[in-house]
Structure 1
Amino acid sequence: MNTMLKDVMTELESLGSAQTRKTYLRHGATEPLFGVKFGDLRPLQKRHRGDQVLAETLMETGNSDAMTLALLIADPTQVKSRQIDAWLKPLQYSLLVGMVADLASRTSCAAAKWKKWSRSPQERSLAAGYTLLASWLVHDAANVPDEIADAALDRIEATIHDVPNQARHAMNQALISIGIYLPAYHDRAMSVAKAIGKVSVDHGDTSCKTPDAAAYIERALKSGRRKRPS
Protein backbone atom coordinates (compact mmCIF):
# COMPACT_ATOMS: atom_id res chain seq x y z
CA MET A 1 0.00 0.00 0.00
CA ASN A 2 1.54 3.34 -1.03
CA THR A 3 1.97 6.11 1.52
CA MET A 4 -0.82 8.34 0.17
CA LEU A 5 -3.33 5.50 0.13
CA LYS A 6 -2.28 4.37 3.59
CA ASP A 7 -2.69 7.90 4.98
CA VAL A 8 -6.12 8.33 3.42
CA MET A 9 -7.33 4.94 4.64
CA THR A 10 -6.08 5.73 8.14
CA GLU A 11 -7.95 9.04 8.06
CA LEU A 12 -11.12 7.38 6.80
CA GLU A 13 -10.94 4.82 9.59
CA SER A 14 -10.56 7.59 12.18
CA LEU A 15 -13.65 9.36 10.81
CA GLY A 16 -15.87 6.28 10.92
CA SER A 17 -18.47 5.58 13.57
CA ALA A 18 -20.39 2.48 14.57
CA GLN A 19 -23.74 4.25 14.24
CA THR A 20 -23.07 5.52 10.72
CA ARG A 21 -21.71 2.14 9.74
CA LYS A 22 -24.93 0.52 10.96
CA THR A 23 -27.00 3.02 8.97
CA TYR A 24 -25.03 2.41 5.78
CA LEU A 25 -25.32 -1.36 6.15
CA ARG A 26 -29.09 -0.97 6.48
CA HIS A 27 -29.05 0.97 3.20
CA GLY A 28 -27.20 -1.80 1.42
CA ALA A 29 -23.53 -0.92 1.92
CA THR A 30 -21.16 -3.84 1.73
CA GLU A 31 -18.24 -4.78 3.97
CA PRO A 32 -15.61 -3.63 4.59
CA LEU A 33 -16.53 -0.08 5.59
CA PHE A 34 -15.79 2.34 8.43
CA GLY A 35 -19.02 4.34 8.43
CA VAL A 36 -17.87 7.83 7.39
CA LYS A 37 -20.53 10.54 7.02
CA PHE A 38 -20.64 12.39 3.73
CA GLY A 39 -20.01 15.65 5.55
CA ASP A 40 -16.76 14.24 6.87
CA LEU A 41 -15.74 13.14 3.38
CA ARG A 42 -16.02 16.67 1.96
CA PRO A 43 -12.65 17.98 3.25
CA LEU A 44 -10.96 14.89 1.81
CA GLN A 45 -12.83 15.38 -1.44
CA LYS A 46 -11.69 19.00 -1.64
CA ARG A 47 -8.10 18.07 -0.83
CA HIS A 48 -7.83 15.26 -3.39
CA ARG A 49 -10.29 16.35 -6.11
CA GLY A 50 -9.11 15.23 -9.56
CA ASP A 51 -6.45 12.83 -8.26
CA GLN A 52 -7.27 10.02 -10.65
CA VAL A 53 -4.43 7.80 -9.47
CA LEU A 54 -5.65 7.97 -5.88
CA ALA A 55 -9.22 7.35 -7.04
CA GLU A 56 -8.13 4.19 -8.82
CA THR A 57 -6.23 2.86 -5.82
CA LEU A 58 -9.13 3.65 -3.48
CA MET A 59 -11.50 1.70 -5.73
CA GLU A 60 -9.18 -1.29 -5.58
CA THR A 61 -9.53 -1.51 -1.78
CA GLY A 62 -13.15 -2.69 -1.99
CA ASN A 63 -13.90 -0.59 1.12
CA SER A 64 -17.26 1.15 0.71
CA ASP A 65 -16.09 4.42 2.29
CA ALA A 66 -12.90 4.41 0.22
CA MET A 67 -14.86 3.75 -2.98
CA THR A 68 -17.28 6.56 -2.11
CA LEU A 69 -14.36 8.96 -1.78
CA ALA A 70 -12.84 7.59 -4.99
CA LEU A 71 -15.98 8.42 -6.94
CA LEU A 72 -16.13 11.88 -5.38
CA ILE A 73 -12.60 12.74 -6.49
CA ALA A 74 -12.36 10.87 -9.82
CA ASP A 75 -11.68 13.07 -12.83
CA PRO A 76 -14.33 12.56 -15.55
CA THR A 77 -11.86 13.81 -18.16
CA GLN A 78 -9.33 11.11 -17.25
CA VAL A 79 -11.40 8.05 -16.41
CA LYS A 80 -11.59 5.54 -19.26
CA SER A 81 -14.72 3.87 -20.60
CA ARG A 82 -13.50 0.37 -19.75
CA GLN A 83 -12.53 1.52 -16.29
CA ILE A 84 -16.07 2.76 -15.64
CA ASP A 85 -17.43 -0.67 -16.61
CA ALA A 86 -14.86 -2.38 -14.39
CA TRP A 87 -15.79 -0.19 -11.44
CA LEU A 88 -19.50 -0.85 -11.90
CA LYS A 89 -19.29 -4.61 -12.40
CA PRO A 90 -18.69 -5.80 -8.80
CA LEU A 91 -20.87 -3.24 -7.04
CA GLN A 92 -23.92 -4.24 -5.02
CA TYR A 93 -24.40 -1.03 -2.99
CA SER A 94 -26.94 1.13 -4.83
CA LEU A 95 -25.30 4.35 -3.63
CA LEU A 96 -22.03 3.41 -5.34
CA VAL A 97 -23.84 2.23 -8.46
CA GLY A 98 -25.47 5.65 -8.62
CA MET A 99 -22.15 7.41 -8.10
CA VAL A 100 -20.50 5.47 -10.93
CA ALA A 101 -23.46 6.42 -13.13
CA ASP A 102 -23.15 10.07 -12.12
CA LEU A 103 -19.44 10.02 -12.95
CA ALA A 104 -20.19 8.42 -16.33
CA SER A 105 -22.76 11.15 -17.05
CA ARG A 106 -19.94 13.73 -16.92
CA THR A 107 -17.67 11.90 -19.37
CA SER A 108 -17.45 11.93 -23.15
CA CYS A 109 -18.85 8.40 -23.21
CA ALA A 110 -22.15 9.27 -21.49
CA ALA A 111 -24.27 8.48 -24.55
CA ALA A 112 -22.47 5.19 -25.18
CA LYS A 113 -22.89 4.12 -21.57
CA TRP A 114 -26.59 5.01 -21.65
CA LYS A 115 -27.12 2.93 -24.80
CA LYS A 116 -25.29 -0.04 -23.29
CA TRP A 117 -26.64 0.04 -19.75
CA SER A 118 -30.24 1.02 -20.54
CA ARG A 119 -30.71 -2.23 -22.49
CA SER A 120 -29.05 -4.49 -19.94
CA PRO A 121 -31.10 -7.32 -18.39
CA GLN A 122 -29.02 -6.94 -15.22
CA GLU A 123 -30.52 -4.84 -12.41
CA ARG A 124 -27.27 -3.05 -11.53
CA SER A 125 -26.46 -1.97 -15.09
CA LEU A 126 -30.05 -1.08 -15.95
CA ALA A 127 -30.32 1.08 -12.83
CA ALA A 128 -26.98 2.69 -13.70
CA GLY A 129 -28.24 3.55 -17.18
CA TYR A 130 -31.27 5.46 -15.97
CA THR A 131 -29.40 7.07 -13.09
CA LEU A 132 -26.82 8.22 -15.64
CA LEU A 133 -29.59 9.85 -17.66
CA ALA A 134 -31.07 11.56 -14.61
CA SER A 135 -27.63 12.91 -13.66
CA TRP A 136 -26.80 13.96 -17.22
CA LEU A 137 -29.99 16.01 -17.35
CA VAL A 138 -29.04 17.76 -14.10
CA HIS A 139 -25.47 18.53 -15.24
CA ASP A 140 -25.94 19.23 -18.94
CA ALA A 141 -29.51 18.87 -20.19
CA ALA A 142 -28.83 20.89 -23.35
CA ASN A 143 -26.53 18.16 -24.64
CA VAL A 144 -28.81 15.18 -24.01
CA PRO A 145 -29.90 14.03 -27.50
CA ASP A 146 -33.61 13.97 -28.25
CA GLU A 147 -33.31 10.36 -29.38
CA ILE A 148 -32.20 9.39 -25.86
CA ALA A 149 -35.05 11.25 -24.19
CA ASP A 150 -37.53 9.69 -26.63
CA ALA A 151 -36.18 6.17 -26.12
CA ALA A 152 -36.14 6.58 -22.34
CA LEU A 153 -39.74 7.73 -22.18
CA ASP A 154 -40.88 4.90 -24.45
CA ARG A 155 -39.11 2.26 -22.36
CA ILE A 156 -40.15 3.75 -19.04
CA GLU A 157 -43.81 3.73 -20.03
CA ALA A 158 -43.62 0.22 -21.44
CA THR A 159 -41.46 -1.54 -18.86
CA ILE A 160 -41.11 0.29 -15.55
CA HIS A 161 -43.39 -2.05 -13.63
CA ASP A 162 -41.61 -5.14 -14.97
CA VAL A 163 -37.94 -4.28 -14.39
CA PRO A 164 -36.01 -5.15 -11.19
CA ASN A 165 -36.40 -3.12 -8.02
CA GLN A 166 -33.54 -0.60 -8.23
CA ALA A 167 -34.10 -0.10 -11.94
CA ARG A 168 -37.70 0.97 -11.24
CA HIS A 169 -36.44 3.66 -8.89
CA ALA A 170 -33.81 4.82 -11.41
CA MET A 171 -36.37 4.95 -14.23
CA ASN A 172 -38.61 7.07 -12.03
CA GLN A 173 -35.69 9.42 -11.35
CA ALA A 174 -34.99 9.72 -15.07
CA LEU A 175 -38.65 10.42 -15.83
CA ILE A 176 -38.70 13.21 -13.26
CA SER A 177 -35.49 14.73 -14.62
CA ILE A 178 -36.82 14.66 -18.18
CA GLY A 179 -39.97 16.44 -17.04
CA ILE A 180 -38.03 19.09 -15.16
CA TYR A 181 -34.93 19.74 -17.26
CA LEU A 182 -36.27 19.32 -20.80
CA PRO A 183 -39.08 21.87 -21.21
CA ALA A 184 -39.99 20.51 -24.64
CA TYR A 185 -40.66 17.13 -23.04
CA HIS A 186 -42.66 18.34 -20.05
CA ASP A 187 -46.08 17.39 -21.41
CA ARG A 188 -44.95 13.99 -22.61
CA ALA A 189 -43.18 13.26 -19.33
CA MET A 190 -46.32 14.20 -17.42
CA SER A 191 -48.38 11.95 -19.69
CA VAL A 192 -46.03 9.02 -19.05
CA ALA A 193 -45.99 9.72 -15.31
CA LYS A 194 -49.79 9.65 -15.15
CA ALA A 195 -49.96 6.54 -17.33
CA ILE A 196 -47.60 4.50 -15.14
CA GLY A 197 -49.12 5.70 -11.86
CA LYS A 198 -47.55 4.65 -8.57
CA VAL A 199 -44.16 2.98 -8.85
CA SER A 200 -43.60 0.40 -6.13
CA VAL A 201 -39.99 0.04 -4.93
CA ASP A 202 -38.79 -1.95 -1.93
CA HIS A 203 -36.31 0.23 -0.05
CA GLY A 204 -35.83 -2.31 2.72
CA ASP A 205 -35.46 -1.21 6.33
CA THR A 206 -35.02 2.48 5.47
CA SER A 207 -37.13 5.62 5.30
CA CYS A 208 -36.37 6.11 1.59
CA LYS A 209 -39.32 6.53 -0.75
CA THR A 210 -39.85 6.65 -4.50
CA PRO A 211 -41.78 9.85 -5.27
CA ASP A 212 -44.81 10.17 -7.49
CA ALA A 213 -43.26 11.47 -10.69
CA ALA A 214 -46.10 13.71 -11.87
CA ALA A 215 -46.50 15.41 -8.50
CA TYR A 216 -42.74 15.83 -8.09
CA ILE A 217 -42.33 17.43 -11.53
CA GLU A 218 -45.17 19.87 -10.91
CA ARG A 219 -43.88 20.84 -7.45
CA ALA A 220 -40.33 21.33 -8.68
CA LEU A 221 -41.35 23.56 -11.58
CA LYS A 222 -43.82 25.53 -9.50
CA SER A 223 -41.30 26.19 -6.74
CA GLY A 224 -38.44 26.86 -9.12
CA ARG A 225 -36.28 24.38 -7.19
CA ARG A 226 -34.95 21.92 -9.70
CA LYS A 227 -33.47 19.49 -7.24
CA ARG A 228 -32.88 15.96 -8.42
CA PRO A 229 -35.05 13.42 -6.55
CA SER A 230 -33.16 11.22 -4.09
Structure 2
Amino acid sequence: MPTSLAQALADLAALEDPKARAINERHGDAHGVNLSKMRALAKRIGTDPELARELWGSGDVAGQLLGILVAKPREFGAGEFDRMVRETLSAKAHDWLVAYLVKKSPLAEELRMRWLDDADPDPRAAAWSLTSARVANSPETLDLDALLDRIEHELADASGREQWAMNETLASIGIHHARLRDRAIAIGERLQVLADYPTPPNCTSPFAPLWIAEMVRRQG
Protein backbone atom coordinates (compact mmCIF):
# COMPACT_ATOMS: atom_id res chain seq x y z
CA MET A 1 0.00 0.00 0.00
CA PRO A 2 1.46 3.41 -0.97
CA THR A 3 2.66 5.63 1.88
CA SER A 4 0.55 8.74 2.45
CA LEU A 5 2.02 12.18 3.03
CA ALA A 6 0.68 12.19 6.59
CA GLN A 7 2.30 8.82 7.33
CA ALA A 8 5.64 9.85 5.80
CA LEU A 9 5.73 13.04 7.87
CA ALA A 10 4.75 11.10 11.00
CA ASP A 11 7.56 8.62 10.35
CA LEU A 12 10.02 11.51 9.99
CA ALA A 13 8.75 13.12 13.19
CA ALA A 14 9.33 9.85 15.04
CA LEU A 15 12.99 9.98 13.96
CA GLU A 16 13.51 13.54 15.20
CA ASP A 17 16.53 13.96 17.50
CA PRO A 18 16.98 17.36 19.23
CA LYS A 19 20.77 16.93 19.35
CA ALA A 20 20.90 16.21 15.63
CA ARG A 21 18.71 19.26 14.96
CA ALA A 22 21.08 21.52 16.88
CA ILE A 23 24.00 20.29 14.80
CA ASN A 24 22.14 20.46 11.51
CA GLU A 25 20.81 23.96 12.12
CA ARG A 26 24.37 25.23 12.44
CA HIS A 27 24.86 24.07 8.84
CA GLY A 28 21.68 25.57 7.43
CA ASP A 29 19.47 22.48 7.72
CA ALA A 30 16.51 22.88 10.07
CA HIS A 31 15.75 19.24 10.81
CA GLY A 32 16.79 16.62 13.34
CA VAL A 33 16.63 13.35 11.40
CA ASN A 34 19.67 11.13 11.12
CA LEU A 35 20.34 10.79 7.38
CA SER A 36 21.07 7.05 7.56
CA LYS A 37 17.68 6.52 9.20
CA MET A 38 16.07 8.78 6.60
CA ARG A 39 17.60 6.71 3.81
CA ALA A 40 16.29 3.54 5.44
CA LEU A 41 12.81 5.08 5.56
CA ALA A 42 13.10 6.04 1.88
CA LYS A 43 14.12 2.50 0.99
CA ARG A 44 11.10 1.16 2.84
CA ILE A 45 8.77 3.56 0.99
CA GLY A 46 10.32 2.93 -2.42
CA THR A 47 10.18 5.17 -5.48
CA ASP A 48 7.04 7.30 -5.42
CA PRO A 49 7.13 10.47 -7.58
CA GLU A 50 3.74 11.70 -6.43
CA LEU A 51 4.64 11.37 -2.75
CA ALA A 52 7.93 13.08 -3.58
CA ARG A 53 6.02 16.07 -4.93
CA GLU A 54 3.80 16.19 -1.85
CA LEU A 55 6.78 15.97 0.49
CA TRP A 56 8.54 18.73 -1.42
CA GLY A 57 5.56 21.02 -0.96
CA SER A 58 5.10 20.13 2.72
CA GLY A 59 7.08 23.07 4.10
CA ASP A 60 9.20 20.61 6.09
CA VAL A 61 12.98 20.41 5.57
CA ALA A 62 13.18 16.69 6.35
CA GLY A 63 10.16 16.21 4.11
CA GLN A 64 11.96 17.80 1.18
CA LEU A 65 14.99 15.60 1.74
CA LEU A 66 12.87 12.44 1.95
CA GLY A 67 10.99 13.58 -1.15
CA ILE A 68 14.24 13.73 -3.11
CA LEU A 69 15.14 10.21 -1.98
CA VAL A 70 11.86 8.70 -3.19
CA ALA A 71 11.72 10.75 -6.41
CA LYS A 72 12.55 9.59 -9.95
CA PRO A 73 14.54 12.12 -12.03
CA ARG A 74 12.78 11.43 -15.33
CA GLU A 75 9.37 12.07 -13.76
CA PHE A 76 10.06 15.80 -13.37
CA GLY A 77 9.83 18.45 -16.07
CA ALA A 78 12.07 21.48 -16.56
CA GLY A 79 9.44 23.79 -15.08
CA GLU A 80 9.15 21.65 -11.96
CA PHE A 81 12.91 21.57 -11.44
CA ASP A 82 13.08 25.32 -11.97
CA ARG A 83 10.44 25.88 -9.29
CA MET A 84 12.02 23.37 -6.92
CA VAL A 85 15.51 24.87 -7.07
CA ARG A 86 14.02 28.19 -5.98
CA GLU A 87 12.05 26.57 -3.14
CA THR A 88 14.78 24.59 -1.39
CA LEU A 89 14.40 24.91 2.37
CA SER A 90 17.98 23.99 3.30
CA ALA A 91 21.52 23.77 1.98
CA LYS A 92 21.35 19.99 1.87
CA ALA A 93 18.02 19.99 0.04
CA HIS A 94 19.63 22.20 -2.62
CA ASP A 95 22.65 19.91 -2.90
CA TRP A 96 20.58 16.73 -3.02
CA LEU A 97 18.13 18.16 -5.55
CA VAL A 98 20.97 18.94 -7.94
CA ALA A 99 23.06 15.81 -7.29
CA TYR A 100 20.32 13.17 -7.07
CA LEU A 101 17.70 14.50 -9.48
CA VAL A 102 18.78 17.27 -11.85
CA LYS A 103 22.18 15.77 -12.73
CA LYS A 104 20.49 12.45 -13.52
CA SER A 105 17.77 14.04 -15.63
CA PRO A 106 17.93 14.27 -19.44
CA LEU A 107 17.11 17.96 -18.86
CA ALA A 108 20.37 18.65 -17.02
CA GLU A 109 22.13 20.50 -19.84
CA GLU A 110 19.05 22.52 -20.74
CA LEU A 111 18.72 23.63 -17.13
CA ARG A 112 22.45 24.32 -16.76
CA MET A 113 22.32 26.74 -19.67
CA ARG A 114 19.09 28.33 -18.44
CA TRP A 115 20.36 28.87 -14.91
CA LEU A 116 23.90 30.13 -15.54
CA ASP A 117 22.71 33.70 -16.04
CA ASP A 118 19.66 33.62 -13.76
CA ALA A 119 19.01 36.61 -11.52
CA ASP A 120 18.61 34.29 -8.50
CA PRO A 121 21.84 32.94 -6.96
CA ASP A 122 20.30 29.56 -6.06
CA PRO A 123 19.68 28.53 -9.70
CA ARG A 124 23.10 29.93 -10.61
CA ALA A 125 24.67 27.77 -7.89
CA ALA A 126 22.87 24.75 -9.34
CA ALA A 127 24.17 25.65 -12.80
CA TRP A 128 27.76 25.77 -11.55
CA SER A 129 27.35 22.37 -9.88
CA LEU A 130 26.11 20.98 -13.19
CA THR A 131 29.02 22.68 -14.95
CA SER A 132 31.50 20.99 -12.61
CA ALA A 133 30.09 17.63 -13.63
CA ARG A 134 30.36 18.54 -17.32
CA VAL A 135 33.97 19.69 -16.86
CA ALA A 136 34.89 16.34 -15.32
CA ASN A 137 32.83 13.94 -17.41
CA SER A 138 31.83 15.49 -20.74
CA PRO A 139 33.79 18.69 -21.45
CA GLU A 140 33.28 18.50 -25.21
CA THR A 141 31.68 21.74 -26.50
CA LEU A 142 32.48 23.57 -23.24
CA ASP A 143 34.59 26.73 -23.57
CA LEU A 144 36.81 26.12 -20.55
CA ASP A 145 38.82 29.31 -21.09
CA ALA A 146 35.63 31.35 -21.04
CA LEU A 147 34.49 29.59 -17.86
CA LEU A 148 37.79 30.53 -16.21
CA ASP A 149 37.34 34.12 -17.38
CA ARG A 150 33.94 34.27 -15.72
CA ILE A 151 35.14 32.56 -12.55
CA GLU A 152 38.06 34.97 -12.30
CA HIS A 153 35.71 37.96 -12.46
CA GLU A 154 32.82 36.66 -10.35
CA LEU A 155 34.10 34.16 -7.77
CA ALA A 156 35.24 36.56 -5.08
CA ASP A 157 31.91 38.42 -4.92
CA ALA A 158 29.57 35.46 -5.38
CA SER A 159 27.18 34.51 -2.56
CA GLY A 160 27.99 31.53 -0.35
CA ARG A 161 26.25 28.66 -2.16
CA GLU A 162 27.08 30.00 -5.61
CA GLN A 163 30.66 30.73 -4.60
CA TRP A 164 31.11 27.18 -3.34
CA ALA A 165 29.79 25.68 -6.59
CA MET A 166 31.79 28.07 -8.77
CA ASN A 167 34.92 27.24 -6.78
CA GLU A 168 34.21 23.54 -7.42
CA THR A 169 34.18 24.26 -11.15
CA LEU A 170 37.50 26.08 -10.84
CA ALA A 171 39.01 23.09 -9.06
CA SER A 172 37.46 20.64 -11.53
CA ILE A 173 39.05 22.47 -14.46
CA GLY A 174 42.43 22.37 -12.75
CA ILE A 175 42.12 18.71 -11.82
CA HIS A 176 40.91 17.35 -15.15
CA HIS A 177 42.51 19.65 -17.73
CA ALA A 178 46.29 19.83 -17.52
CA ARG A 179 46.69 22.64 -20.05
CA LEU A 180 44.62 24.94 -17.84
CA ARG A 181 45.92 23.71 -14.49
CA ASP A 182 48.42 26.50 -13.91
CA ARG A 183 45.85 29.16 -14.73
CA ALA A 184 43.24 27.60 -12.43
CA ILE A 185 45.77 27.46 -9.59
CA ALA A 186 46.83 31.06 -10.24
CA ILE A 187 43.21 32.26 -10.08
CA GLY A 188 42.71 30.46 -6.80
CA GLU A 189 45.93 31.86 -5.36
CA ARG A 190 45.05 35.40 -6.35
CA LEU A 191 41.44 35.34 -5.11
CA GLN A 192 42.10 33.33 -1.91
CA VAL A 193 38.49 32.13 -1.83
CA LEU A 194 38.08 29.47 0.93
CA ALA A 195 41.79 29.66 1.74
CA ASP A 196 40.96 29.85 5.45
CA TYR A 197 38.17 27.26 5.40
CA PRO A 198 38.55 24.97 8.45
CA THR A 199 39.47 21.53 7.15
CA PRO A 200 39.63 18.50 9.48
CA PRO A 201 42.77 16.33 9.42
CA ASN A 202 42.89 13.83 6.55
CA CYS A 203 40.31 15.82 4.57
CA THR A 204 40.98 17.77 1.37
CA SER A 205 40.80 21.54 1.60
CA PRO A 206 38.22 23.26 -0.64
CA PHE A 207 40.82 25.97 -1.39
CA ALA A 208 41.22 25.38 -5.11
CA PRO A 209 45.06 25.32 -5.34
CA LEU A 210 45.31 22.76 -2.52
CA TRP A 211 42.35 20.80 -3.82
CA ILE A 212 43.82 20.62 -7.32
CA ALA A 213 47.27 19.61 -6.07
CA GLU A 214 45.90 16.84 -3.87
CA MET A 215 43.64 15.32 -6.51
CA VAL A 216 46.37 15.44 -9.17
CA ARG A 217 48.72 13.74 -6.69
CA ARG A 218 46.20 10.95 -6.15
CA GLN A 219 45.88 10.44 -9.89
CA GLY A 220 49.58 9.59 -9.88
Deviates more, 1:43-52 or 1:166-175: 43-52
Residue 68 of structure 1 and its aligned partner are, at CA, apart by 0.8
| 2:149 equivalent in structure 1 | 154
Work out whether residues 124 and 167 of structure 1, in 8 Å CA contact, stay in contact via their aligned partners in 2.
Answer: yes
Match of 2:126 in 1: 128
Match of 2:68 in 1: 71
**Please, which of 41, 46, 50 is the counterpart of residue 43 of structure 2?**
46
User: Where does 1:159-198 land on structure 2 (aligned, <5 Å)?
Assistant: 159-180=154-175, 183=176, 185-197=177-189, 198=192
Task: Give yes or no for contact 1:127–1:166 (8 Å, CA) kept in 2.
Answer: yes
SS in 2 for 1:160: helix
Change over 3 Å in CA distance of 1:23–1:154 after alignment to 2: same
2:193 to 180, 186, 199: 199
Gaps of 5+ in 1: 226-230
Residues 12, 66 of structure 1: 8 Å contact kept: yes
**Equivalents in 2 of 1:145, 1:49: separation in Å?**
36
Residues 166, 201 of structure 1: 8 Å contact kept:
no
Find out whether 1:24 has 2:20 as its counterpart.
Answer: no
How big is the shift at 1:149? 4.2
Instruction: Confirm or deny: 8 A CA contact 1:199 1:210 kept in the other structure.
Output: no
Stretches (4+) displaced over 6 A: none
Once the two structures are TM-superposed, the CA of residue 46 in structure 1 deviates from its matched residue by: 2.4
Cα pair distance change 1:158/1:123, threshold 3 Å: same
Distance 1:25 1:105 in 2: 26
d(CA) in 1 for partners of 2:134, 2:68: 16
Structure showing greater relative contact order (alpha-carbon pairs closer than 8 Å, 6 or more residues apart): 1
Contact 1:165 1:202 in 2 (8 A): no
- Letter paired with 1:11: D
User: How far apart are residue 187 of structure 1 and its match?
Assistant: 3.2
Tell me how many residue pairs correspond in the alignment.
214
Distance 1:53 1:212, change over 3 A: same
Match of 1:93 in 2: 90
**Gap regions ≥5 residues in structure 2:** none
| Sequence identity percentage | 24
SS at match of 1:161: helix
Structure showing greater radius of gyration is 2
Q: 1:58 aligns with which of 52, 55, 64?
A: 55
Deviates more, 1:74-83 or 1:215-224: 215-224
Tell me the CA shift for residue 59 of structure 1.
0.3
The answer to whether the Cα contact below 8 Å between 2:173 and 2:184 also exists between their aligned partners in 1 is no
